[in-house]
Structure 1
Amino acid sequence: MNILTWNINGIRASKVAIKDLLNSLDADIVCLQETKVTRDLLDDSIANVDGYSSFFSFSRKRSGYSGVATYCRDCATPVRAEEGLTGRLAKGADDVGCYGNQTSFTDEELQLLDSEGRAVMTQHTVRDADGISHDLVVINVYCPRADRENQERMDYKLQFYNLLQLRAEALVKAGRHVVVVGDINASHRRIDNCDPGPDFEKHPSRQWLTSFLHDDTPEKPASESEASLKLKNDDESSCHKEQPKSSNSSSGIFVDTFRRFHPTRQKAFTCWSTMTGARQTNYGTRIDYIFANMGLFEKMIASCDILPEVEGSDHCPVKARVTCQPVPSKKLPELCSSNMPEFSGKQQKLLSFFQKLSPSKVALARKPEPDEPRQKDNKTRTMLDLSKPGLKRTGSDPSSQRSQKKLKTNPSELQKGSLMNFFQKKRPPEDVSENKGRTDVDVVKQPELLKATSMPPVDLKAERGNANGGSQEMLETSSQTDGSKRGKTNSSVAWKQLLSGPPQAPTCKGHSESCLLRTVKKPGPNLGKKFYVCPRPEGHKDNPEARCNTFIWVTKGK
């Protein structure tokens, strides 16, 4: 059985149909994070995928934010499923259970920890190579991101970590095998980060990972006796016993499966910055994991690896192979999306008639046959237009036709003006009648308008002759042809100055290539300021193909 995890960075942004995407990943249980889909945005093409059962966790705070989803092949249909970690979102008999001792959290904290749609778990029945049945719980999580400067968000992140550990260890104590997968939003060891700082190990997220995981360093691998002892203790415990407090030592009961199989692999990253193109130089971090309790790892985990060749997100998938045979459940858990009223045939959402089609759904849309009449094709296009918010049917509303006809017969709309009309000031509506009989030249002769455009003065008198009040003396000293040439030359210079575009970017020091213009978006004293950097993707300082250290602030007036 294959288990895969992937931060997809928006499930509705997929360029292919979801079924084709799931099939290409070749896994029995596919766990996706950062789906950015909430209940109001979920459509049938994502919720009901032929050959799979799906389970979602939605953000209760805002639409299109966070979210996780687990897709299970029909051969691995879960026996139980539950949203969240606290039990506050439990639905009844199909819940996974075993919540541990939550007395260290307040009711408000527990409610907030499950409000962002960051966890969903499924429980499966599996048989090992000896034919013995086991309960396997897959916890799919999207852990919060937090900057150290934002203490409130950092506290929330650490609370989520502690709650995840409490629930996972309680399930193991109940005699179940547990796999924790997802975007943990923290790299554990220095080897997992492209640029670890001097205080790398002191980060609170890494300290929690150390307490959650068994010592998985190559220098001190776990012995078979330790693993057997840990498994024996797990089997003899129950989920009702109080959870012991975690220490800062590597004494956890879970294993980083990838690092166990590849203890010294360098540059094995799963996330890269899209802003700097860091994936091209493999300048990233490993923050996506598949954790397994010690007993499961020793008995059934056969392999685990990252899949950097799979694109479509700023993350790449991680896949593990478990040597067991899933036993599908005959009944779908209540949490399954096919049981939702809007997707079970009992109720239809009104929003579905107006929401914009996702790219995956458009790919499945029927294309008209070549021999179909054009009229039918136009009718289909009009119906698709109605599904887009804010769009109206064109060509079918009589009032719309009358409005278009009225516009076509309006003389003011058909009147053609000179190019200089683009620079004239807009007059108040009540003064429109006073402009009757006034020519274009009368308007553009105003000196303040010419000055506002930063254009050199155009000799309009010489260009239009005596009819516009030109000097008789000028007409006698220059021919009409010369005046026309001068007018064209002046106009050409004016337009070149106006359309000259931004100033030329400087070249970087390391590669002598034109720099890229960037804008500071991080809150602070430099917010909104512009600067130039090397155009190449970000990478290690020793990589000559990576970005050099060119950095130039854009000063005013340049």
Structure 2
Amino acid sequence: MKIVTWNINGIRTFRGGIKKALDSLDADIICLQETKVTRDLLDERTAIVDGYNSYFSFSRGRSGYSGVATYCKDSATPFAAEEGLTGLLTNHEGPVRCYGDHTEYSTEELQLLDNEGRAVITQHRIMCQDQVKTVTVINVYCPRADPEKPERKQFKLQFYKLLQGRAEAILKDGSYVIVLGDINTSHRTIDHCDPSDIDDFEENPGRKWLNCFLHSDKQEEESTDEEYNEAYKLTSTHDGKFVDTFRHFHPTRTNAFTCWSTLTGARQTNYGTRIDYIFADCQLAEEQFVAADIMPEVEGSDHCPVWGQLSCSLLPSSKNPPLCTRFLPEFAGKQQKLSRFLVKMDQKSIQSEQRNELPGSQEEEERRENLNPSGAGKKRVLTAESIIPKGKKTKTAKAASKPQGSLLTFFKPKITNVLPSTEAPERQKNLDQDEVTSPQNPSVKGSVTKDATLVLDGSEQLCTSSYPKDNDQGTKVKTPHLTSQPTVGPSDTKKGASSGFWKSLFHGPPPPPPCKVHGEPCVLRTVKKEGPNMGRQFFVCARPQGHASNPEARCNFFAWVDKGK
């Protein structure tokens, strides 16, 4: 039995299709995190893959955010599956159950913890030493703690505690347990590229939780990291029930990272962290796991896959659990009722949902979080405004607003007076205007001001067409066809002055300076973090980020771009 976990940073980014990616991993159970897909965006090609059965958890209040999925080969079909950790999302038969103690959580807190689509649980039967046992796989994408948002730190710790309570409750019920996924915390100093650069590394609440969650092998700790061993004695409150399978087989391996920053190109210098894990209960890790490792050679995401191999064999279930995506109405070929799309909804809830509308990208640094699950999963409503006939609404809108002009009107010359050809000579003298003749009809003449002739020379192609023009009364007046002549254009000196004027307004970035260490041209960056410097530009070394001792990595060159340049 082989199991794989991988934060894929968007399931729709697989250009060759999800099946090709799944087959390349060659595993029985494949757990994916950060799918960034909601149910309305999930297509059949991704949901139903030949040879696999899949189980998804979606974010309830934000598109393009979070989400996990577990794909099982048909030979590894689970007999039970469930979405979330709390049990509140389970409205079908065959759940996993064993939820642990929730007395310290309010119902609202439990809803919030499961509302972001961060957990899928599948339960399988395995054959171990001629005995049929049960193994429960908990696929999780743990929250990221934004340093500038204290509420997200608390949310992350609550999720950790809920995860531990659920895993230990299932273990107590007699099943083996595997917890795997993106835990979003590097455990020890050996799991971080530059721990000395982080203040109070051992005081991080996430690391303290891992110390409690994981079983400590005292002999291993003392032989690999004395500083960590001392910190463990200070922070650990009890001996955990789970094992980090990678460290179980590779206790002293360094530079074994699973996540790198794509913005700084840190993967080239292996300047990353190990935050993706496969945890197994102590008995399963000791008796059944035979190997575990990372796959940094696999690209396609800012994370790499992690795999584990067990000696036991899987016994597939005869039927898929109800949570399987092939049973969703949109993929099962079932006729859907019209009422499913027209469920009535309270107007106050709609307004509240609009006020708390969230962006749809994890890359936006979780600028606004999904903290209002009350509107999750609700449908559109037929309001009084929405039932007005479309034609009437359009007519009312047009009557109340000024018609929108086309882009062409901003480039056409301003025609002051369009006169019959018999009156043109006298009026031409009085108004001191140039005469323009239509090549299609020499007898048709129009008058164009001197200011307009400059526009003709600068935008000949835009001004040669004879489009209808609206006058102040709203009626259409046909303008004569205008053709620029060499005699009406500005002189070369005027062209040069005009070009200089526009260049003074729209200038490109200054030439990049060379960095002091490598002497190579720098790259231009922009501050996106909120604060006094937001929007300012600066130059840094173009090489990928790396440790200060690495001569091939980025040097510490930094220079602000002056606003005047």
Tell me, yes or no, if structure 1 residue 438 matches structure 2 residue 448: yes
- What's the secondary structure of 2:154's corresponding residue? helix
Query: Matches of 1:469 and 1:212 in 2, distance apart?
Result: 80
- Matched-pair contact (CA < 8 Å) for 1:30–1:72: yes
How far residue 150 of structure 1 moved from its aligned partner, in angstroms, is 1.2
Instruction: Report if aligned partners of 1:342, 1:349 keep a CA contact under 8 Å in 2.
Output: no
Does the Cα contact within 8 Å between 2:10 and 2:35 map onto a contact in 1? Answer: yes
After superposition, where does 1:309-388 map in structure 2 within 5 Å? 309-347=297-335
TM-score scaled by length of structure 1: 0.72
One-letter amino acid matched to 2:97: G
Q: Which residue of 1 aligns with 2:211?
A: 210
Give the secondary-structure state (helix, strand or coil) at the position aligned to 1:437. Answer: strand
Letter in 2 for 1:30: I
SS in 2 for 1:140: strand
How far does residue 489 in structure 1 lie from its aligned partner after superposition?
7.0
2: CA distance between counterparts of 1:274 and 1:545? 17
Residue correspondence of structure 1 range 393-542 to structure 2 within 5 A: 437-438=447-448, 442-444=452-454, 501-542=508-549
Amino acid across the alignment from 1:444: L
CA contact (8 A) 1:88 1:111 kept: yes
Structure 1 residues 115 and 494: CA distance shift in structure 2, 3 A: closer
Please give the residue correspondences for 1:227-242 in structure 2 after superposition, counting only pairs within 5 Å: none
C-alpha distance after superposition, 1:495-539 (max 9, x if no partner): 877886322111111111111111111122221111111111100
Counterparts of 1:149-164 in structure 2, within 5 Å, are 149-164=148-163
Taking a change above 3 Å as real, the CA distance of residues 487 and 152 of structure 1, as seen in their structure-2 partners, is closer
Q: Is the 8 A contact 2:66 2:118 kept in 1?
A: yes
Q: How far apart, CA to CA, are the structure 2 residues paired with 1:108 and 1:298?
A: 39
The two structures, once aligned, show a CA RMSD in angstroms of: 3.2
Instruction: Using the aligned pairs only, state the percent identity.
Output: 59
| Paired residue type of 1:100 | G
Partner in structure 2 of residue 166 of structure 1: 165
Using the TM superposition, give the Cα deviation of residue 47 of structure 1 relative to its aligned residue in structure 2, in angstroms.
Answer: 0.7
Matches within 5 A, 1:23-422: 23-128=23-128, 130-196=129-195, 197-216=198-217, 219-220=220-221, 248-249=236-237, 251-347=239-335
Measured in 1, the distance between the counterparts of 2:302 and 2:201 equals: 23
Per-residue Cα deviation, 1:156-201 (whole angstroms, up to 9, x for no partner): 1100000000000011111110000100000000010112124101
8 Å Cα contact 2:413/2:452 also seen in 1: no
Distance 2:3 2:31 in 1: 8
Which shifted more, 512-521 or 282-291? Answer: 512-521
Contact 2:142 2:182 in 1 (8 A): yes
Aligned position for 2:561: 554
* Change in 2 beyond 3 A, CA 1:468/1:521: closer
| Amino acid corresponding to residue 143 of structure 2 in structure 1 | P
Q: In 2, distance between residues paired with 1:488 and 1:469?
A: 9
SS at match of 1:40: helix
Structure 2 letter corresponding to 1:180: V
Match of 2:117, as an amino acid?
Answer: G
Q: Secondary structure at the match of 2:147?
A: coil
Cα offset, 1:202, TM superposition: 0.3
User: 1:201, 1:433 → 2: CA distance?
Assistant: 82
Write the letter of the residue equivalent to 2:36: K
Q: Give the distance between the partners of 2:259 and 2:22, measured in 1 at CA.
A: 20
Give the 3-state SS of the residue equivalent to 1:100 in structure 2.
Answer: coil
What SS is found at the alignment partner of 1:316?
coil
Q: Deviations over 1:277-329 (max 9, x none)?
A: 00010001000000000010011011110000000000000000011110000
Taking the aligned partners of 2:500 and 2:30, their CA distance within structure 1 comes to: 62
Distance 2:85 2:499 in 1: 69
The whole-number CA distance in structure 2 between the counterparts of 1:544 and 1:301 is: 39
The CA distance in 1 between the partners of 2:510 and 2:190, in whole Å, is 43
Q: What CA distance in whole angstroms lies between the structure 1 residues aligned with 2:417 and 2:524? A: 44
8 Å Cα contact 2:454/2:489 also seen in 1: no
Q: Would the alpha carbon gap of residues 221 and 468 (structure 1) be closer, same or farther in structure 2, given more than 3 Å must change?
A: closer
Displacement after TM superposition at 1:27 (Å): 0.4
Secondary structure at the residue paired with 2:93? coil
Cα 1:151–1:495 change in 2 (3 A) is: closer
Matched AA of 1:28: D
- Sort the Cα spacing of 1:86 and 1:503 in 2 relative to 1 into closer, same or farther, 3 A: same
Q: Aligned partners of 1:432 and 1:443: how far apart in 2? A: 15
Post-superposition CA distance 1:236-283 (Å, at most 9, x none): xxxxxxxxxxx8336100000001111111110000001000001000
- Any conservation in 1 of the 2:453–2:488 contact (CA below 8 Å)? no
Residues 216, 260 of structure 1: 8 Å contact kept: no
Does the CA-based 8 Å contact 1:215-1:250 persist in structure 2?
no
**Residues 416 and 448 of structure 2 are in contact (CA less than 8 Å); yes or no, is this contact kept in structure 1?**
no
Contact 1:34 1:67 in 2 (8 A): yes
Whether the aligned pair in 2 keeps the contact of 1:2 and 1:28 (CA below 8 Å) is yes
Aligned CA distance change for structure 1 residues 56 and 220 (closer, same or farther; 3 Å): same
Shift of 1:208: 0.6
SS in 1 for 2:220: coil
- Cα 1:217/1:437, change in 2 over 3 Å: farther
Aligned residue in 1 for 2:382: none
SS at match of 1:219: helix
Distance in 2 of aligned mates of 1:146 and 1:440: 64
C-alpha distance 349-318 of structure 1, shift in aligned 2 (>3 A): farther
Q: Give yes or no for contact 1:91–1:335 (8 Å, CA) kept in 2.
A: no
